[in-house]
Amino acid sequence: MRSVLLVAALLAGACTETNPAMLVDHGVGEGAPAGNDGAEAGCTMQTFYRDADSDGHGDDGQTTQACNAPAGFTGSAGDCDDQDPEAHPGQKKFFTTPSRGTASFDYDCDGVEERLHSALVSCVVSGNKCQGDGWAGSDVPACGQAGPMVTCVKKRSQGCWQSSSEVVQSCR
């Protein structure tokens, strides 16, 4: 029973800290409620999401209601892999290995594994330049798969020339 009261008191304290109006309304003298109901009613309860990897985005499936974000929770939802801090909404970087928790390449949580390089090579002469780059062969490598990446280079003796090197496909 004592621990229950302590938790209630802590919750009431947390609420009044962020809502000074509560102190004016109920904290002084007459009419102040004996229990914590009045203080709790003054809080704006919000939904918070479990953020196990501390990347600032939480798991939509693990929520709690509170006045303020409890430790380990955040107000931002949409983390598609809450075991990998590199995977979260808004991620701009591309990766050559899958994420830790869900083993997905969808690091920006938009539901799609977006490839960094998605074109096959097509070297073309444009004016005095040889332009273009992409993958050699007939297939664009899948996420995490290696393939020959071609860069188009103009050489005086060979015209538009393809320089190839092995590259691993990055995705997000």
- Residues within the interface to Ca ion (CB under 5 A): 51, 53, 55, 57, 79, 82, 106, 108, 110, 112, 114
Nearer to Ca ion, 11 or 140 (CB): 140
Smallest gap from Cβ 168 to Ca ion, in A, equals: 17
Spatial CA neighbour of 87 closest among 64, 70, 110: 110
State residue 63 phi and psi, 5-degree precision. Answer: -125, 165
Angle, alpha carbons 168-170-172 (nearest 5°): 160
Nearer to Ca ion, 106 or 149 (CB): 106
Nearer to Ca ion, 98 or 106 (CB): 106
Smallest gap from Cβ 78 to Ca ion, in A, equals: 9
Beta bridge partners of 70: none
Angle, alpha carbons 138-144-147 (nearest 5°): 35
Smallest gap from Cβ 72 to Ca ion, in A, equals: 10
